[in-house]
Structure 1
Amino acid sequence: MTDGIHLTEYHDKVKQWLADNLTWLKSVDYYPETATALTTPCAFFAVRDWERAERQPMNGQLGVTLSCEILAVLGMADARYQLEVRNAAMAIALKVDGARFGLRVEPAVFVSAEPDAFEPELDEYAVWSIRFNQNVEVGADAFKPEGLTPTTVKVGFSPNLGSVDEDMYEEVVSDV
C-alpha cells in the first residue's frame, strides 16, 4: 500500500459518492461487472487510463491524470428515453465537475458527454458516456512527517505566555 491514492480505494470512493449524490440512480457499479438484466436508471464507473500529470509533486510520488468514464444507462420503455438519458448525463456531468469524491485529490474536470454505442451488451439500453479527468498522486511521500501531525493552529498577538493565558489565543485552523 502507498501513501498516495490506490486505484481500488479510488474506485470504491467514486462509486459510493455517485450512489450518495445521485440518489435517483437505482445502482452504481464498476463497468462491466453486471451480466444480468439491469434495473435502470443506473451508472457504471471506470478508470479508462492515465498519463503523467503536467505538475509533479517532487516528493517521490508520481502525479498522474486519470481518464475516467461514467456510463449513464436508461431503459427504452419510455417514449422520451433519448431526452431522459441526455438529462441524466447532464445531471451527472454537473455533479462530477469539481468533485473530490471524499479524497485528497485535485477536483475532477468534466471533459465530455456523448452517446455510447460501443458496448454491445448494452444495446438494449440508452447509454451516454460522461468523461472526466482527475489529477492524483500515487506512491509513497518521501517527506511525510513522522509522529503526530498538528491539527490545530492558534495565533496570539503580544499575548502573555503560559496555560493560564490560553484563552487569549485565537484559533485560525480548526482540528475539525
Structure 2
Amino acid sequence: MPQPDTALDLDRFFAAIVKSIWSAYPRLQLVEAFRTDRRNLALPACLIELVELEPTDNPGTEQLAVIAHIEATVIVGFRDIGAKVQVAKLAADIAHHAQGQRWGLPVEAATISAIAPRDFDPDLDQFEVWAVEWRQTIHIGKSIWDDGDPIPSEVLTSQVPNIGVPHAGDYAPVGGI
C-alpha cells in the first residue's frame, strides 16, 4: 500500500492559500504572502504571513512535522463608509473560508485560533485592520517512504548469526518464535 506524499514546500503552501483566498473573494484588490511594502496597498487587501513553525510529534517518516501558525491581515481604508464593520465582516468571512481548509495539499485541516482587530502595526496606521490566525500541521521534507519500495507489512525476527538475505528462511513473525 503506497503512503501518501506528505512532503510540502512552503512556497507551494502559501501560493495555494493565496490562490484560494483570491478565488473566494474576488472583491479583494490584493492578496499576497510575505509582502514587504505595507504602505501602498490596493484595498481591500489580505496579507498572508507565517508567524511561527512549532515542532510537533514525529510522523515516523523522518520529515519535520510542524504546526504552522499563519496570519491573514485583512485591511480596508479607514475612510471607507462603515470601515470598522466592513473589515470585521471580511475577517470573519475569511476565517470561515480558512476553517478546515487543506488548500488542496497534503496538510491537516486549518483550525482558527483568533479573529481580532490588529492595532499595533505602525505601517498600517491609516487603515482599519483585523487579523485572522490559524494553525495547520504540515510535514517539511521528503518522507523515507517515498522511494517507491513496498512498505513492510510484517515484522520478522531472527537471531545472530542467522540474519540477512542468506538466512531469509530463518526469520519468523514477531510473536511466533
Give the Å deviation of 1:79: 3.4
CA deviation string 1:9-55 (max 9, x = no partner): 111111111111222211101243335522211100011111112x4
* AA at the equivalent of 2:32: D
**1:145: how far off?**
4.3
What is aligned with 1:66?
A: 68
After superposition, what is the alpha-carbon deviation per residue over 1:52-97, rounded to whole angstroms, capped at 9, x for unaligned?
12x4310111211000000000012223111111001100110000
- What amino acid sits opposite 1:8 in the alignment? D
Query: Are residues 1:21 and 2:24 paired?
Result: yes
Q: Are the structure 2 counterparts of residues 114 and 36 from structure 1 closer, same or farther at C-alpha, using a change threshold of 3 Å?
A: closer
Which of 99, 120, 126 is the aligned partner of 2:128? 126
The 3 A distance-change label for structure 1 pair 98 and 80 is same
Q: Is the Cα–Cα contact under 8 Å of residues 49 and 71 in structure 2 kept in the other structure?
A: yes
Which residue, out of 19, 30, 35, partners 1:32?
35
Amino acid at match of 1:69: E
Secondary structure of 1:13's match?
Answer: helix
Task: Report the Cα distance in structure 2 between the residues aligned to 1:121 and 1:59, rounded to whole angstroms.
Answer: 42
| Aligned AA (2:23) | D
Residue 40 of structure 2 aligns to a residue whose secondary structure is coil
TM-score by length of structure 2 reads 0.76
Partner in structure 1 of residue 137 of structure 2: 135
Partner of 2:101: 99
Q: Which amino acid in 2 is paired with 1:6?
A: D
User: What is the CA–CA distance in structure 2 between the aligned matches of 1:38 and 1:98, rounded to whole Å?
Assistant: 28
Aligned counterpart in structure 2 of residue 116 of structure 1, from 115, 118, 121: 118
Contact conserved, 2:47 with 2:73, CA < 8 A, in 1?
Answer: yes
Structure 1 residues without counterparts, runs of 5 or longer: 148-176
Matched residue, 2:78: 76
Any idea what SS the aligned residue of 1:18 has? helix
SS at match of 1:63: strand
Larger radius of gyration: 2
Q: Is the 8 A contact 2:39 2:124 kept in 1?
A: no
**TM-score normalised over the length of structure 1:** 0.76
| Distance change (3 Å), C-alpha of 1:36 and 1:127 | closer
| Residues paired across the two proteins, number | 146
In structure 2, runs of 5+ residues without a counterpart are: 150-177
Which is worse superposed, 56-65 or 34-43?
34-43
- The one-letter code matched in structure 2 to 1:80 is G
The AA in structure 2 aligned to 1:73 is I
* RMSD over aligned Cα atoms: 2.0
**Cα separation, 1, equivalents of 2:87 and 2:10:** 28
- Give distance in 1, aligned partners of 2:37 and 2:105: 26
Q: Could you tell me how far apart the structure 1 residues matched to 2:44 and 2:96 are?
A: 17
